[in-house]
Structure formats: structure tokens, C-alpha cells
Structure 1
Amino acid sequence: MHMERASHFLSIFFLCFILIAAFTLPASAGPEEKVLVLEIAGAITPASDNLIADAIDKAETGNFEALLITLDTPGGGLEETQIIIKAVENTTVPVIGYVPESGKAWSAGTLILMGTDIAAMAPFTVIGSAQPVQISAEGTKPIEDEKIINALVKFSTETARKHGRNETFAEEVITKNRNLNDEEALEEGVIEYRAPSVSDLLDQVDGQVVKGRKLQTANAGIETYEPPFPISFLTLISNPVLSSLLLTIGLYGIIFGISNPGAGAEIFGIIAIVLGLIGTGFDINIAAFFLIIVGIGLLVLELNSPGYGVFGLAGFISLVIGSIFLVPLGGENIYTPEFRRLLTLTVITPTIVFGLFLVFAIYKVAETRAKRPVIGAIVGDTARTIDPIGPKSQGYVRYKGEYWKARSEEEIGTEEEVDIIGKEMEVLLVKRKI
């Protein structure tokens, strides 16, 4: 019987093993071809560099066939554009630039499109107008300095030449602000494909060899890139309008805080200015450490001086924002998406817990400050005499179960109710209750 049971057990074990192998082998037979799609909409800002660097990291570590960047932008910063083009050149993943339907890639967007491995446009889209401009309080003014123009023209033509594209247009898009629609761009050799949709474009580029890799994109799955929270927040404050608004609000906040001490407006002003500076390209790591130091200082200040919670709230906000920006934003392959999520939780969670603990401590301190002094609480209450009390004779009264020495300006007998009207040292001053 024991042998039969053992044999039966082994049969079940091997059957389970075969079923597990049957379900797991197809999954490990080879990853399905997939393409990562990154959407760039709006101006090219410092956040765009981090966005593209992180997307490239994901494409490299996730074994994607290609990274497809859709461009719908009026342009942006030259330095950011050059960083993006360099990142595209240095990655081993084929990068496809695409201007989607109803989109545009003007100025910096044109340069980025010409810097991708494969360039494509949807019907009725436009690229061009890449003459650099200077933005000031008075508006935008074209830059005509030959030194800057010649350097940018050379950068543009070399980028085009590297990818076998029209160098004449690469020059005239800067010097003459030339513009091309999709048909003209294809005819003049600025782009390689026209496609009404992403899926159609992937069908067209299937089989092409890019960076030593033969693309298999015809039946590839399309995955839309979703940036981590720190980059999303950075993208938000990198909007030129919002970053300028933060700087302005911060400046007025400091002025208001100095003119009205104790309101705490200057603290929020400093935080707004730091966020505005980050949005305009200020070093994120320095800003993160600064915000954390300011946050700790404000929380300590709130614990030691009455600030009505303003300092504590500002300190808590500073700590959380500073912790968010301490998480690496991309550009290094050692950080997988899973590890980055874990790192984000590891950094931010203790900060939030610590901040909430300090907020609770601040609340308790404020609650203690709001309480009436013990003496103030006694005055006005009622007690009962134990001994006779008078102007020249002290006795004891019972107050809330405790014995207190007491005296009165009038003669009061035992077991009479009295009102407490004051206190001298350890002696209560009482009078007969009316």
C-alpha cells in the first residue's frame, strides 16, 4: 500500500511539473517585439532632456526594437536640443522621429527630427523656422550674431550629413527660416517616410537596418512611455509660463514676508523661487539638498517658536519636494524601472512619515500653548472649607479632592462653599460663595 501511495504521489508530482513547464516555456521562448513610444508635446525644456534620457534607458533595458519619439513642438532651448541629439546618437537603440497628424516640429523640433536615425512625418504637417531667438521682458528678438548663427548652422548641417539628409535645408532652416510640409520634406531628402499613423510607419520601416540592427516592427507591440512622478513634476514646473510665474510669485512672497514679519510668506517665496529655478534648468541635486535643509530648519523653527503652523507646513512641503528630486531621474542604465520605483518609495516614505510625526509634535506643542495656565484655571472655581478661615487665620479647603491652604478677608466657618479669587505662593485666596 505504501508503495502504491508513493507511486501515485510521484505521478501527480511529474504531472504538475509537466503542466508548469508547458505554461512557462512559451513565455521564455523569446520576448515579443515591441516599440516604445514617447510623446513630446509643447516646448523643449530642461525636463525634455530627462524625459528622453529616461525613455532611452527604458528602451535599452527593456529590449525594445526601437524608441519612437513623436514631436509636436514649437521649439525650445538650444542647449536642451543639443543634449537630446547627443543622447539619441549615443544610444544603441534605433530612434525614430515622427511628426504626428496635426502636429508640427518647428525650430528645435526640426533639429531633433533631423538628429534621429529615421525621420518621418504625417500628411499635412510642417517643419522649419529654426533661426534662434532671444527671449526678454520685451518679447522675442531674432539673434543675428554671426558667431552664434555660424556655429548653429554647422551643428545643423553636420547632424544632417551624419544621417545622410539634405544639408542645404539644414542650413537654410536657420539662415532663411525655411519651412517644409511632409511632401516637400520627403522630396528634398529631409525625411525618409510619410505615414498617417504610428502603426503604418512601423510597417514601413520593418526590415530596415539601423545601428547594426534589423528592425522587426511590422507586428511589434506599441507601449506608450509613462514618465515616473519626479520627471512628471519636473515637466510641469519646466513649462516656461509656470516657471516664470513661480519666480514672480516667489519674489513678491519674499517682499511681502519682509514687510509683514511672522506671516511666513517669505518662506513660501523661497520655495517658489527654488522650484522656478529648477524649471529653468538649475541643478536639481543642489536644489533638492537646499529644499531638505530649509524644510528641516522650518520644522525646528516651528517647534521652538509660535508660527501658527505656517513654518511647519512650509517645512513639510520642502522636505517632500526635496526628497522627490533626490531620486535619480535617468541617464544611467544601472537604474531599472523597478529599482527606481523602489528607490522612490525608500526616499519619500521615510520623509513623509518623519514629516507627519513632526506635524503631530507641532500640533501638540500648539495645543499646549493654547491651554490656560493652571492658576488661571483655578481662579473662579469653587472649593469647600475644612477649617475655619479668616484674615488672621489660615486653614485648609478641599478643591477637586486635594487639600490647599487658604485664607480670606472675612470669617468663614467649616464646610462652607467658597469661591477661589486668587493665589499667593501656595495659599489660595477665597471668599464666601454667594
Structure 2
Amino acid sequence: VSPKGARAASAGMFITLAAHVAAMAPGTNIGAAHPVSVGIAKMDKVMGDKVVNDMAAYARSLALERGRNADWAERAVRQSVSIHAAEAHRLKVVDLLAEDLPELLQKVHNLPVKLNKQTVILKTQGVPVHIMEEGLRTRILKHIADPNIAFILMLIGLAGLYFELAHPGVVLPGVVGALSLLLAFYAFQTLPVNFVGLLLIILAFVFFILEIYVTSYGLLTLGGVISLLMGSLMLYRTGDPGMAVAWSVLIPAVLIITLFFVGIGVLILHSQMRRSMSGVSGLIGERGEAYTDLNPEGKVFVHGEYWQAVSEEPVAKGEQVEVLKVEGLKIFVRKAS
């Protein structure tokens, strides 16, 4: 278990217990192997007890097979206890301590190891070291399964789908949104997701979308912000260390999504309040020129077109007029002030 700051928790503890030689670097820790459910579904009490008992027995059998501390291994599963490297060595959870790989190779030289039914002597003095690097596929999937990346992918996916539904035919937001959501749900299969937290985040987006079409004086936006914040905090069950959205990711994400939908709402509100510039309603308030005398009827030239017009006061040919209203194919005007 290395380098300093690393930990062998959950499955890492079982791998360490199963190793023929278990070593830890100073500043590392091991334990916290209590099982947690992954995905959206949560285990009931009966199933949870069954899994805990099974894993505790498995951890104990591994420790006994390698001559290590079986009692501590069982407590690591049942009680999620965790200990540092020096304590693990003292309790015989691991075999030795080593600062780095060269020191480890020196300490395990001539060490007897039992393989199957026979004992072999390790010869590690001066042997070449081959580092097995992670493949590209493994690195990509490991990053996608990070709780923070999965959270961001879900937010991008929901925002992209909203764009596509609000503006059909744009295509790109819908494609990006669909891909992001699929990747997020792939990650959720390997993470302890809280179903209520996921629903709260989806509900927040519903509130933001409704704010655009319903006059709520900001109440729906406020509800969306609270729902998004609470859902983000509750998205992962916290039984396993590190399974939570980091504050450095959560706060900027909530602010960006909130500002995004508030900005869209403001733009839509401005467009609805703006006077129409086309069609019949777009003529009201427009100015034009009397093409003939109006007394009270005549023709005017407005908005690039000739219209039959009516004026309550006489208007001479060539004078400026202003449109008051439109009825069918006839407009009512007055002299422009």
C-alpha cells in the first residue's frame, strides 16, 4: 500500500489480506471494509446483514490463510475500523513496512512464501522491475466513475436535454446531453447513489423550466436552488469514505446552473415584454406618410406597404401619420406629433 497518503479500504483491504506478502508505506492506512450498496437501489436490513456476514467470514478466512490477524479483519468489515501502517504491522495485519519499492524488494529478498502446497524463497535482489501501467480504457472509465465527474456529467446532460427540448432541431445540445446522461448513469452503477438525492436534482431542473413559463415571482427559482443544493448533498450515501461531491465542485456547479436558468428566464421575459416588430400588432405605433388626403378616409404608406386608412381629423397628402389600431385590412391613424 503506497505511496504516503494512500489507503487500502473496502476492496483494497481484501486484496491486501489475500496477498502472499502484504506491505505498507508509512503514512498509509487500511480498513473501512463495511459493504455499501452501489447503484440507485438500497439493500434492506435482511440483505445487508447477509452481505456483512458473508464478507466478514471471507475476510476472516483470507487472514487465517495468510497467517494474519483474523479478528481485526472481521472488525474491519463489521465496524469499518481503520488503522495506520505502524499499527497494522504491530497487529500483524500486514507483514512489513517499507518506505519505497527498492526497500520493499530488499526486505522481501530470501523471504519464504507459501504457494499452494509448497514453500518458495523469493529472490528479489537486483531483479529488473516492470511497471504495469493502466490502459487508456481503464483510465477513462476510472475518471468517469469519480463521484464529482459523475455529478458534473449529470448536470450537463440535464441542461443539454433542456436546450434540445426548448429549441428543437439544434441537435448539438441534445447529443451532448444524451451522451453525458448515459455516462453519468454508467458511473452511478458503480457508486452508492441515493435515489432521493437524484430525484431532488431532477426536480430542481423541473422547477427551473417551469419558472420560464409560469409567473411565480422567483419562488420556483428559489425552490430549484434549494432542491439542487440538497440533492447534490444527498446524491451519494456516505457509508464509504470519499463518496461525496466535493464542496469545490458542488458550490460552483450549483451557482452556474442557477445563473444559467435565471439568465434564460430574464432573456425570455425581455422578449415577451418587447413590442412586436412584425405582423398586425407590429404596425401599432408605426409612422408613415399620407399617400392621399384623408377626410376621413384615404391611403397611407406605412411599413413599406400601402394601407386603406381612416383619420378622425383631416390629414393632407404628404403629412406624417401614426398608426393607432388595425381592424382587418383598414388602419386608424392620426397626425404624427
Give TM-score scaled by structure 1 length.
Answer: 0.40
Give TM-score scaled by structure 2 length.
Answer: 0.48
